[in-house]
A = this chain, B = another copy of it.
């Protein structure tokens, strides 16, 4: 079997390509967030007041990894972490005004760049690719 016949290799290349597009398009627009950091803001926007464990679940990250991501967002002043009133172990997350502003400005750019990731595909093919991906991921987290 050839390297490019292997799903594992192709998928890694796709991820690499996707990350590259995200980075270059965002930097071109003057934003300095990684895709992971943006995903965290997005999840926080749609689920205000969640803790880190919930955030990790939503965007499918390891809890250990989320810690660092949130810490960097906090350091950039985009997110606040407060001890939960109902569970002193948990840290409730909230976007700061700066975070909300940055999210609002980045969102159209990020949405636009999604098409660029699959630029080589027709609209039909793009939809096929996305639904096959969702299907391949199965009930996993979808």
Residues of A with Cβ closer than 8 Å to B? 1, 3-18, 21-22, 35, 39, 42-43, 46, 58-60, 110-111, 113-115, 117-121, 125-126, 128-130, 132-138, 140-142
Q: Dominant SS at the A interface?
A: helix
Q: Are A11 and B6 in contact (CB under 8 A)?
A: no
| Copies per complex of this chain | 2
Whole-angstrom distance between the alpha carbons of A46 and B125 in the complex?
32
Which B residues are in CB contact (< 8 Å) with A13? Answer: 60, 133, 137, 140-141
Q: Are A121 and B132 in contact (CB under 8 A)?
A: yes
Q: Are B140 and A10 in contact (CB under 8 A)?
A: no
Q: Are A136 and B14 in contact (CB under 8 A)?
A: yes
